[in-house]
Homo-oligomer: A and B are copies of this chain.
Amino acid sequence: MAQVAAIIGGGVIGGGWAARFLLMGWEVRVFDPDPEAERKIGEVLDNARRSLPGLSDVMLPKEGRLVFCQTISQAVEGSIWIQESIPERLDLKHKVYQKIQEHCDAGAVIGSSTSGFKPSELQGCATRPEQIMVTHPFNPVYLLPLIALVPSDKNPPELIDKAKETLTGIGMYPLHVRAEIDAHIADRFLEAVWREALWLIKDGIATTEEIDDAIRYGFGLRWAQMGLFETYRIAGGEAGMRHFIEQFGPCLSWPWTKLMDVSELTDELIDQIADQSDTQSGMHTIRELERIRDNNLVTILRGLKAQDYGAGAVLNAQDARQPVADIDISQPIQTVARAVPLDWTDYNGHMNEARYLQAFGDATDRFMEIVGCDADYIASGGSYFTAETHICHLDEVRAGARIRVETQCLLGEGKKMHLFHRMWEGDRLLATGEHMLIHVSLETRKASVPAEKIAVRLGKIAAAHGGLGWPEGAGRAIAGAR
Protein backbone atom coordinates (compact mmCIF):
# COMPACT_ATOMS: atom_id res chain seq x y z
CA MET A 1 0.00 0.00 0.00
CA ALA A 2 1.21 3.49 -0.81
CA GLN A 3 2.73 5.59 1.98
CA VAL A 4 0.77 8.70 2.84
CA ALA A 5 1.97 12.31 3.09
CA ALA A 6 -0.11 15.27 4.24
CA ILE A 7 0.50 18.66 2.65
CA ILE A 8 -0.74 21.48 4.88
CA GLY A 9 -0.78 24.66 2.83
CA GLY A 10 -0.72 24.45 -0.97
CA GLY A 11 0.64 27.17 -3.20
CA VAL A 12 3.94 27.01 -5.06
CA ILE A 13 5.90 25.38 -2.23
CA GLY A 14 3.22 23.00 -0.94
CA GLY A 15 2.37 22.11 -4.51
CA GLY A 16 6.02 21.31 -5.19
CA TRP A 17 6.12 18.99 -2.18
CA ALA A 18 2.88 17.33 -3.31
CA ALA A 19 4.40 16.72 -6.74
CA ARG A 20 7.57 15.14 -5.31
CA PHE A 21 5.59 12.70 -3.18
CA LEU A 22 2.98 11.89 -5.84
CA LEU A 23 5.49 11.25 -8.60
CA MET A 24 7.40 8.92 -6.28
CA GLY A 25 4.22 6.88 -5.76
CA TRP A 26 2.98 8.30 -2.44
CA GLU A 27 -0.63 9.06 -1.64
CA VAL A 28 -0.89 12.80 -0.98
CA ARG A 29 -3.59 14.48 1.10
CA VAL A 30 -3.76 18.25 0.78
CA PHE A 31 -5.35 20.69 3.16
CA ASP A 32 -5.56 24.31 2.10
CA PRO A 33 -8.57 26.54 2.83
CA ASP A 34 -7.85 28.67 -0.28
CA PRO A 35 -10.71 27.96 -2.75
CA GLU A 36 -8.11 28.30 -5.53
CA ALA A 37 -5.84 25.66 -3.98
CA GLU A 38 -6.86 22.82 -6.30
CA ARG A 39 -6.19 24.92 -9.40
CA LYS A 40 -2.88 26.26 -8.06
CA ILE A 41 -1.55 22.86 -7.07
CA GLY A 42 -2.78 21.48 -10.38
CA GLU A 43 -0.59 23.99 -12.19
CA VAL A 44 2.49 23.10 -10.16
CA LEU A 45 1.74 19.43 -10.79
CA ASP A 46 1.51 20.01 -14.54
CA ASN A 47 4.96 21.56 -14.45
CA ALA A 48 6.32 18.73 -12.34
CA ARG A 49 4.83 16.00 -14.54
CA ARG A 50 6.50 17.43 -17.64
CA SER A 51 9.92 17.83 -16.05
CA LEU A 52 10.58 15.41 -13.17
CA PRO A 53 9.90 11.87 -14.50
CA GLY A 54 12.32 12.31 -17.40
CA LEU A 55 15.08 13.46 -15.04
CA SER A 56 15.34 9.83 -14.06
CA ASP A 57 16.95 7.28 -16.35
CA VAL A 58 14.75 4.53 -14.95
CA MET A 59 10.97 4.31 -14.68
CA LEU A 60 9.52 6.02 -11.61
CA PRO A 61 6.74 4.27 -9.66
CA LYS A 62 3.12 4.75 -10.74
CA GLU A 63 1.92 8.20 -9.72
CA GLY A 64 0.14 8.18 -6.36
CA ARG A 65 -3.37 9.33 -5.54
CA LEU A 66 -4.05 13.01 -4.79
CA VAL A 67 -6.82 13.81 -2.32
CA PHE A 68 -8.04 17.28 -1.32
CA CYS A 69 -9.21 17.31 2.29
CA GLN A 70 -11.69 19.62 3.99
CA THR A 71 -10.00 19.46 7.38
CA ILE A 72 -6.53 19.10 8.81
CA SER A 73 -7.61 15.98 10.67
CA GLN A 74 -8.60 14.20 7.44
CA ALA A 75 -5.27 15.12 5.90
CA VAL A 76 -2.97 14.03 8.71
CA GLU A 77 -4.63 10.84 9.97
CA GLY A 78 -2.53 7.91 8.76
CA SER A 79 0.13 10.16 7.23
CA ILE A 80 3.74 9.36 8.07
CA TRP A 81 5.00 12.70 6.71
CA ILE A 82 3.27 16.01 7.34
CA GLN A 83 4.66 19.02 5.51
CA GLU A 84 3.59 22.48 6.63
CA SER A 85 3.99 25.29 4.06
CA ILE A 86 1.69 28.01 5.41
CA PRO A 87 2.52 31.73 5.62
CA GLU A 88 5.48 32.83 7.76
CA ARG A 89 3.58 33.79 10.91
CA LEU A 90 4.66 32.02 14.06
CA ASP A 91 1.30 32.28 15.88
CA LEU A 92 -0.45 30.74 12.87
CA LYS A 93 2.07 27.93 12.64
CA HIS A 94 1.67 27.14 16.35
CA LYS A 95 -2.12 26.88 15.96
CA VAL A 96 -1.78 24.59 12.96
CA TYR A 97 0.71 22.30 14.75
CA GLN A 98 -1.70 22.00 17.66
CA LYS A 99 -4.47 20.91 15.30
CA ILE A 100 -2.12 18.52 13.47
CA GLN A 101 -0.92 16.91 16.69
CA GLU A 102 -4.49 16.31 17.89
CA HIS A 103 -4.97 13.90 14.98
CA CYS A 104 -1.66 12.69 13.62
CA ASP A 105 0.43 9.66 14.43
CA ALA A 106 2.96 10.39 17.20
CA GLY A 107 5.69 8.80 15.07
CA ALA A 108 5.07 10.96 11.97
CA VAL A 109 7.52 13.68 10.98
CA ILE A 110 6.09 17.21 10.94
CA GLY A 111 8.34 19.18 8.63
CA SER A 112 8.10 22.94 8.17
CA SER A 113 9.01 24.68 4.91
CA THR A 114 9.86 27.86 6.83
CA SER A 115 12.78 29.84 5.47
CA GLY A 116 13.25 31.87 8.62
CA PHE A 117 12.09 30.30 11.88
CA LYS A 118 14.27 28.06 14.00
CA PRO A 119 12.92 24.62 14.94
CA SER A 120 12.82 25.52 18.66
CA GLU A 121 10.66 28.53 17.80
CA LEU A 122 8.32 26.33 15.78
CA GLN A 123 8.16 23.73 18.54
CA GLY A 124 7.16 26.44 21.05
CA CYS A 125 4.74 24.91 23.52
CA ALA A 126 3.63 22.05 21.24
CA THR A 127 2.22 18.84 22.78
CA ARG A 128 5.01 16.81 21.15
CA PRO A 129 7.78 19.22 20.16
CA GLU A 130 9.99 16.25 19.25
CA GLN A 131 7.93 15.67 16.06
CA ILE A 132 8.50 19.10 14.61
CA MET A 133 11.57 20.10 12.59
CA VAL A 134 12.56 22.41 9.76
CA THR A 135 12.64 20.80 6.30
CA HIS A 136 13.08 23.85 4.11
CA PRO A 137 13.02 23.28 0.33
CA PHE A 138 13.99 25.49 -2.59
CA ASN A 139 11.76 26.50 -5.47
CA PRO A 140 11.04 24.69 -7.78
CA VAL A 141 10.68 22.00 -5.12
CA TYR A 142 10.05 19.28 -7.72
CA LEU A 143 13.43 19.87 -9.36
CA LEU A 144 15.94 21.26 -6.84
CA PRO A 145 17.21 18.53 -4.49
CA LEU A 146 18.28 20.69 -1.53
CA ILE A 147 16.45 20.46 1.80
CA ALA A 148 17.77 22.35 4.82
CA LEU A 149 16.97 19.82 7.55
CA VAL A 150 17.24 21.64 10.87
CA PRO A 151 16.35 19.79 14.07
CA SER A 152 16.51 21.15 17.60
CA ASP A 153 17.88 19.20 20.53
CA LYS A 154 14.32 18.07 21.24
CA ASN A 155 14.16 15.88 18.11
CA PRO A 156 15.28 12.28 18.78
CA PRO A 157 18.10 11.04 16.50
CA GLU A 158 15.88 8.18 15.24
CA LEU A 159 13.30 10.61 13.94
CA ILE A 160 15.99 12.74 12.28
CA ASP A 161 17.31 9.61 10.58
CA LYS A 162 13.80 8.65 9.49
CA ALA A 163 13.27 12.13 8.06
CA LYS A 164 16.53 11.90 6.10
CA GLU A 165 15.55 8.52 4.76
CA THR A 166 12.14 9.74 3.59
CA LEU A 167 13.59 12.83 1.93
CA THR A 168 16.31 10.81 0.22
CA GLY A 169 13.63 8.35 -0.90
CA ILE A 170 11.77 11.09 -2.79
CA GLY A 171 14.96 12.21 -4.51
CA MET A 172 15.98 15.10 -2.25
CA TYR A 173 19.26 15.90 -0.58
CA PRO A 174 18.71 16.61 3.12
CA LEU A 175 21.49 18.89 4.36
CA HIS A 176 21.60 18.35 8.10
CA VAL A 177 22.14 21.79 9.65
CA ARG A 178 23.74 20.98 12.96
CA ALA A 179 22.99 24.25 14.73
CA GLU A 180 19.83 26.28 14.83
CA ILE A 181 20.42 29.61 13.17
CA ASP A 182 18.12 32.07 11.52
CA ALA A 183 17.72 31.30 7.83
CA HIS A 184 19.60 27.95 7.91
CA ILE A 185 22.74 28.59 5.78
CA ALA A 186 21.51 28.93 2.16
CA ASP A 187 18.99 31.67 2.88
CA ARG A 188 21.64 33.66 4.66
CA PHE A 189 23.56 33.84 1.42
CA LEU A 190 20.44 34.73 -0.51
CA GLU A 191 19.70 37.47 2.00
CA ALA A 192 23.19 38.90 1.75
CA VAL A 193 23.02 39.01 -2.04
CA TRP A 194 19.49 40.41 -2.04
CA ARG A 195 20.41 43.30 0.24
CA GLU A 196 23.44 44.13 -1.87
CA ALA A 197 21.28 44.01 -5.00
CA LEU A 198 18.78 46.45 -3.48
CA TRP A 199 21.56 48.95 -2.89
CA LEU A 200 22.85 48.59 -6.44
CA ILE A 201 19.40 49.35 -7.81
CA LYS A 202 18.65 52.14 -5.37
CA ASP A 203 21.98 53.81 -6.12
CA GLY A 204 21.33 53.49 -9.86
CA ILE A 205 24.48 51.40 -10.41
CA ALA A 206 22.73 48.51 -12.12
CA THR A 207 19.28 47.39 -13.29
CA THR A 208 17.63 44.07 -12.39
CA GLU A 209 18.68 42.71 -15.76
CA GLU A 210 22.30 43.80 -15.40
CA ILE A 211 22.44 42.19 -11.97
CA ASP A 212 20.98 38.96 -13.34
CA ASP A 213 23.50 38.97 -16.18
CA ALA A 214 26.34 39.56 -13.72
CA ILE A 215 25.24 36.37 -11.98
CA ARG A 216 24.23 33.98 -14.77
CA TYR A 217 27.11 34.71 -17.17
CA GLY A 218 29.70 34.33 -14.41
CA PHE A 219 29.69 32.82 -10.94
CA GLY A 220 26.16 31.39 -11.29
CA LEU A 221 27.56 28.87 -13.78
CA ARG A 222 30.26 27.90 -11.31
CA TRP A 223 27.82 27.48 -8.45
CA ALA A 224 25.55 25.10 -10.34
CA GLN A 225 28.25 22.44 -9.96
CA MET A 226 30.80 23.40 -7.32
CA GLY A 227 30.13 25.80 -4.49
CA LEU A 228 32.19 28.64 -3.07
CA PHE A 229 35.03 26.74 -1.47
CA GLU A 230 35.73 24.08 -4.05
CA THR A 231 35.76 26.83 -6.69
CA TYR A 232 38.20 28.93 -4.67
CA ARG A 233 40.38 25.92 -3.92
CA ILE A 234 40.95 25.68 -7.66
CA ALA A 235 41.56 29.43 -7.91
CA GLY A 236 44.32 28.99 -5.34
CA GLY A 237 46.02 26.77 -7.93
CA GLU A 238 48.77 24.42 -6.93
CA ALA A 239 49.37 26.41 -3.74
CA GLY A 240 45.86 25.48 -2.56
CA MET A 241 43.22 26.90 -0.28
CA ARG A 242 45.60 28.57 2.14
CA HIS A 243 47.22 30.54 -0.68
CA PHE A 244 43.84 31.61 -1.96
CA ILE A 245 42.76 32.96 1.41
CA GLU A 246 46.02 34.78 1.91
CA GLN A 247 45.53 36.49 -1.46
CA PHE A 248 41.86 37.16 -1.01
CA GLY A 249 41.80 37.87 2.70
CA PRO A 250 42.95 41.50 2.66
CA CYS A 251 39.98 42.38 0.44
CA LEU A 252 37.72 41.56 3.36
CA SER A 253 38.72 44.73 5.09
CA TRP A 254 37.84 46.79 2.04
CA PRO A 255 34.45 48.47 1.99
CA TRP A 256 33.13 46.47 -0.95
CA THR A 257 29.77 45.46 0.38
CA LYS A 258 27.19 47.92 1.52
CA LEU A 259 25.69 45.53 3.99
CA MET A 260 26.39 47.49 7.10
CA ASP A 261 22.99 49.00 6.58
CA VAL A 262 19.69 47.95 5.07
CA SER A 263 18.17 49.82 2.17
CA GLU A 264 14.66 50.91 3.06
CA LEU A 265 12.04 49.40 0.78
CA THR A 266 10.27 52.60 -0.15
CA ASP A 267 7.40 52.59 -2.65
CA GLU A 268 9.75 54.33 -5.02
CA LEU A 269 12.34 51.54 -4.82
CA ILE A 270 9.65 48.87 -5.23
CA ASP A 271 8.36 50.66 -8.33
CA GLN A 272 11.86 50.88 -9.71
CA ILE A 273 12.46 47.15 -9.26
CA ALA A 274 9.04 46.14 -10.62
CA ASP A 275 9.46 48.37 -13.68
CA GLN A 276 12.98 47.10 -14.40
CA SER A 277 11.79 43.53 -14.01
CA ASP A 278 8.96 44.19 -16.50
CA THR A 279 11.48 45.52 -19.02
CA GLN A 280 13.68 42.48 -18.47
CA SER A 281 11.12 39.66 -18.41
CA GLY A 282 7.72 41.20 -19.17
CA MET A 283 7.61 39.66 -22.65
CA HIS A 284 6.98 36.28 -20.99
CA THR A 285 4.07 35.24 -18.78
CA ILE A 286 4.93 33.65 -15.45
CA ARG A 287 3.85 30.29 -16.87
CA GLU A 288 6.26 30.71 -19.78
CA LEU A 289 9.07 31.74 -17.44
CA GLU A 290 8.41 28.68 -15.28
CA ARG A 291 8.73 26.41 -18.28
CA ILE A 292 11.85 28.15 -19.57
CA ARG A 293 13.35 27.78 -16.09
CA ASP A 294 12.35 24.11 -15.83
CA ASN A 295 13.71 23.29 -19.29
CA ASN A 296 16.98 24.95 -18.30
CA LEU A 297 17.14 23.20 -14.93
CA VAL A 298 16.37 19.78 -16.42
CA THR A 299 19.08 20.35 -19.01
CA ILE A 300 21.62 21.40 -16.38
CA LEU A 301 20.68 18.58 -14.01
CA ARG A 302 20.82 15.92 -16.73
CA GLY A 303 24.16 17.31 -17.89
CA LEU A 304 25.54 17.04 -14.35
CA LYS A 305 24.05 13.55 -14.20
CA ALA A 306 26.09 12.51 -17.22
CA GLN A 307 29.16 13.89 -15.39
CA ASP A 308 28.02 12.14 -12.18
CA TYR A 309 28.79 15.30 -10.21
CA GLY A 310 26.98 17.56 -7.76
CA ALA A 311 23.21 17.43 -8.06
CA GLY A 312 23.70 14.99 -10.94
CA ALA A 313 25.31 12.47 -8.58
CA VAL A 314 22.29 12.85 -6.28
CA LEU A 315 20.04 11.92 -9.21
CA ASN A 316 22.16 8.90 -10.14
CA ALA A 317 22.01 7.63 -6.58
CA GLN A 318 18.24 8.01 -6.69
CA ASP A 319 18.04 5.95 -9.91
CA ALA A 320 20.21 3.26 -8.39
CA ARG A 321 17.73 2.86 -5.53
CA GLN A 322 14.85 2.00 -7.89
CA PRO A 323 13.98 -1.69 -8.19
CA VAL A 324 15.24 -3.59 -11.26
CA ALA A 325 12.74 -5.73 -13.22
CA ASP A 326 13.22 -9.50 -13.25
CA ILE A 327 14.61 -10.92 -16.47
CA ASP A 328 12.83 -13.63 -18.45
CA ILE A 329 15.16 -14.68 -21.28
CA SER A 330 12.45 -16.58 -23.12
CA GLN A 331 11.05 -13.21 -24.26
CA PRO A 332 12.61 -9.99 -25.61
CA ILE A 333 14.25 -8.40 -22.55
CA GLN A 334 13.13 -5.00 -21.28
CA THR A 335 16.36 -2.98 -21.33
CA VAL A 336 15.04 0.59 -21.04
CA ALA A 337 11.96 1.93 -19.25
CA ARG A 338 11.83 5.68 -18.77
CA ALA A 339 10.05 8.93 -19.48
CA VAL A 340 11.28 11.05 -22.40
CA PRO A 341 13.17 13.93 -20.76
CA LEU A 342 12.69 17.56 -21.80
CA ASP A 343 16.24 17.83 -23.11
CA TRP A 344 15.68 14.99 -25.60
CA THR A 345 13.13 16.95 -27.54
CA ASP A 346 13.51 19.62 -30.17
CA TYR A 347 11.61 22.90 -30.43
CA ASN A 348 8.52 20.94 -31.58
CA GLY A 349 8.47 18.95 -28.34
CA HIS A 350 9.24 15.74 -30.25
CA MET A 351 12.11 13.42 -29.46
CA ASN A 352 15.10 14.30 -31.62
CA GLU A 353 16.40 11.57 -33.93
CA ALA A 354 19.76 11.28 -32.16
CA ARG A 355 17.96 10.51 -28.89
CA TYR A 356 16.41 7.39 -30.42
CA LEU A 357 19.94 6.11 -30.81
CA GLN A 358 20.77 7.29 -27.29
CA ALA A 359 17.90 5.18 -25.93
CA PHE A 360 18.99 2.22 -28.08
CA GLY A 361 22.56 2.76 -26.88
CA ASP A 362 21.31 2.66 -23.28
CA ALA A 363 19.41 -0.54 -24.14
CA THR A 364 22.60 -2.04 -25.55
CA ASP A 365 24.55 -1.03 -22.42
CA ARG A 366 21.92 -2.69 -20.23
CA PHE A 367 21.94 -5.83 -22.36
CA MET A 368 25.76 -5.96 -22.13
CA GLU A 369 25.44 -5.69 -18.35
CA ILE A 370 22.96 -8.57 -18.35
CA VAL A 371 25.39 -10.83 -20.24
CA GLY A 372 28.17 -9.88 -17.81
CA CYS A 373 29.91 -7.13 -19.78
CA ASP A 374 29.57 -4.70 -16.84
CA ALA A 375 31.80 -1.92 -15.47
CA ASP A 376 34.18 -4.42 -13.80
CA TYR A 377 34.57 -6.46 -16.99
CA ILE A 378 35.17 -3.29 -19.04
CA ALA A 379 37.78 -2.17 -16.49
CA SER A 380 39.47 -5.56 -17.01
CA GLY A 381 40.02 -4.66 -20.68
CA GLY A 382 37.17 -6.05 -22.80
CA SER A 383 34.05 -4.46 -24.24
CA TYR A 384 31.66 -4.44 -27.19
CA PHE A 385 31.82 -1.64 -29.77
CA THR A 386 28.98 -0.87 -32.18
CA ALA A 387 30.05 -1.47 -35.77
CA GLU A 388 26.79 -0.88 -37.58
CA THR A 389 23.34 0.52 -36.78
CA HIS A 390 20.05 0.54 -38.65
CA ILE A 391 17.13 2.57 -37.30
CA CYS A 392 13.55 2.66 -38.62
CA HIS A 393 11.62 5.67 -37.32
CA LEU A 394 7.98 4.58 -37.28
CA ASP A 395 6.23 7.15 -35.12
CA GLU A 396 6.81 10.36 -33.16
CA VAL A 397 6.97 10.65 -29.37
CA ARG A 398 6.71 13.67 -27.08
CA ALA A 399 8.51 14.78 -23.92
CA GLY A 400 7.12 13.04 -20.86
CA ALA A 401 5.95 9.93 -22.71
CA ARG A 402 6.80 6.68 -20.94
CA ILE A 403 8.78 4.56 -23.33
CA ARG A 404 10.37 1.15 -23.08
CA VAL A 405 12.85 -0.77 -25.19
CA GLU A 406 12.66 -4.54 -25.63
CA THR A 407 15.73 -6.29 -26.90
CA GLN A 408 15.96 -9.46 -28.94
CA CYS A 409 19.34 -11.10 -29.45
CA LEU A 410 19.66 -12.29 -33.06
CA LEU A 411 23.18 -13.64 -32.75
CA GLY A 412 25.68 -14.03 -29.93
CA GLU A 413 28.61 -16.02 -31.19
CA GLY A 414 32.35 -15.56 -31.34
CA LYS A 415 33.18 -11.87 -31.52
CA LYS A 416 29.71 -10.88 -32.71
CA MET A 417 26.62 -9.69 -30.90
CA HIS A 418 23.65 -8.84 -33.12
CA LEU A 419 20.78 -7.06 -31.33
CA PHE A 420 17.34 -5.91 -32.38
CA HIS A 421 15.65 -3.26 -30.19
CA ARG A 422 11.99 -2.26 -30.37
CA MET A 423 10.95 1.02 -28.76
CA TRP A 424 7.35 1.24 -27.53
CA GLU A 425 5.03 3.76 -25.97
CA GLY A 426 2.26 1.50 -24.65
CA ASP A 427 1.39 -0.71 -27.65
CA ARG A 428 2.57 1.88 -30.18
CA LEU A 429 5.82 0.83 -31.89
CA LEU A 430 7.95 4.00 -32.21
CA ALA A 431 11.14 2.71 -33.74
CA THR A 432 13.35 -0.29 -34.24
CA GLY A 433 17.13 -0.36 -33.88
CA GLU A 434 19.30 -3.12 -35.29
CA HIS A 435 22.91 -3.17 -34.11
CA MET A 436 25.95 -5.28 -34.89
CA LEU A 437 28.47 -5.13 -32.06
CA ILE A 438 31.97 -6.55 -32.06
CA HIS A 439 33.84 -7.60 -28.95
CA VAL A 440 37.15 -5.73 -28.69
CA SER A 441 40.24 -5.69 -26.57
CA LEU A 442 40.42 -2.19 -25.12
CA GLU A 443 44.20 -2.42 -25.22
CA THR A 444 44.67 -3.26 -28.91
CA ARG A 445 41.33 -1.68 -29.96
CA LYS A 446 40.95 -4.76 -32.21
CA ALA A 447 38.30 -7.50 -32.40
CA SER A 448 38.75 -10.30 -29.86
CA VAL A 449 36.68 -13.07 -28.32
CA PRO A 450 34.85 -12.28 -25.08
CA ALA A 451 35.53 -13.98 -21.75
CA GLU A 452 34.07 -17.48 -21.45
CA LYS A 453 31.39 -16.50 -18.90
CA ILE A 454 30.08 -13.83 -21.28
CA ALA A 455 30.14 -16.18 -24.28
CA VAL A 456 28.12 -18.73 -22.31
CA ARG A 457 25.52 -16.29 -20.99
CA LEU A 458 25.16 -14.58 -24.37
CA GLY A 459 24.87 -17.92 -26.19
CA LYS A 460 22.12 -18.97 -23.80
CA ILE A 461 20.07 -15.83 -24.46
CA ALA A 462 20.68 -16.02 -28.23
CA ALA A 463 19.48 -19.64 -28.22
CA ALA A 464 16.37 -18.75 -26.19
CA HIS A 465 15.62 -15.81 -28.50
CA GLY A 466 16.14 -17.99 -31.59
CA GLY A 467 12.62 -19.27 -31.08
CA LEU A 468 11.09 -15.79 -31.27
CA GLY A 469 11.33 -15.59 -35.04
CA TRP A 470 13.15 -13.12 -37.29
CA PRO A 471 11.83 -9.61 -36.58
CA GLU A 472 10.19 -7.56 -39.28
CA GLY A 473 12.65 -4.91 -40.38
CA ALA A 474 15.83 -6.72 -39.36
CA GLY A 475 18.43 -7.08 -42.10
CA ARG A 476 16.80 -4.19 -43.93
CA ALA A 477 18.62 -1.80 -46.26
CA ILE A 478 17.47 1.65 -47.28
CA ALA A 479 15.73 1.31 -50.63
CA GLY A 480 17.86 3.62 -52.73
CA ALA A 481 17.79 5.11 -56.21
CA ARG A 482 20.76 3.04 -57.33
Contacts and interface: CB of A to CB of B under 8 A. Distances in A.
B192 A252 contact: no
A226 interface: yes
Contacts of A197: 189, 228-229
Interface in A270-307: 270, 273-274, 276-278, 280-281, 286, 289-290, 292-293, 295-297, 299-304, 306-307
A287 B228 CA distance: 18
Contacts of A219: 138, 186, 189-190, 223
A179 B192 contact: no
Interface stretch (A56-64, A119-127, A144-152): A144-152
Interface in A434-460: 434-436, 442, 445
Interface stretch (A18-26, A78-86, A102-110, A199-207): A199-207
B481 A343 contact: no
Contacts of A241: 273-274, 277-278
B259 A116 contact: no
A249 interface: yes
Q: Assembly of this chain: how many copies?
A: 2
B218 A257 contact: no
B240 A274 contact: yes
Contacts of A179: 203-205
A304 B296 contact: yes
A220 interface: yes
Interface string A195-231: 1111010011110111111111111111111111111
Given A214-B186, A361-B354, A392-B388, A178 B195 contact: no
Contacts of A148: 214
B299 A303 contact: yes
Nearest to A261: B260
Contact of A482 (B196, B445, B470): B470
A423 to B, nearest CB: 13
A234 B294 CA distance: 11
A229 B299 contact: no
Contacts of A306: 299, 343
A206 B177 contact: yes
A393 B386 CA distance: 7
A270 B256 contact: no
A452 B442 CA distance: 51
A12 B231 CA distance: 13
B477 A476 contact: yes
Contacts of A410: 480-482
Contacts of A144: 217-218, 221-222
A311 interface: yes
A426 interface: no
Contacts of A309: 292, 295-296
B181 A290 contact: no
A336 B172 CA distance: 41
A223 B225 contact: no
Contacts of A265: 245, 249, 252
A478 interface: yes
Residue with the greatest number of chain B CB neighbours at <10 A, chosen from A257, A302, A356: A257
Given A185-B214, A186-B215, A230-B289, A225 B274 contact: no
